[in-house]
């Protein structure tokens, strides 16, 4: 089995926000941050909060980057 390496091309986002995942229309989100090997999963359960889930993900990444969890 051949293992392919996928590369990302960050055009608009800083490298610290390089995540894989999806955000839903009701504020749900599921992202994987490969550099920190963490999964960010949640739901705000409100249709008008579709962009707040992404902003929450950015805040969580910033908090985890500041944390010395080693």
Q: How far is CA 26 from each of CA 30, 34, 53, 63, rounded to the nearest angstrom?
A: 12, 25, 9, 24
Q: Which residue has the tokens 């707040």?
A: 52
Residue pLDDT, tens place only, 21-31: 998 888 889 99
The pTM (predicted TM-score) of the whole model is 0.71
CA distance 16 to 27: 22
Quote the percentage of the chain above a pLDDT of 70: 80
User: Whole-angstrom distance between the N-terminal and C-terminal Cα of the chain?
Assistant: 33
How many beta carbons lie within 10 A of that of residue 27, not counting itself? 20
């Amino acid at each position: 089995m051949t293992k392919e390496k996928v590369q990302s091309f960050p055009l608009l986002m800083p490298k610290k926000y390089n995540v894989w995942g999806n955000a839903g229309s009701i504020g749900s989100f599921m992202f994987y941050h490969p550099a920190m090997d963490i999964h960010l999963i949640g739901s705000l359960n409100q249709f008008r909060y579709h962009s707040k889930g992404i902003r929450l993900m950015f805040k969580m990444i910033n908090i985890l980057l500041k944390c010395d969890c080693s």
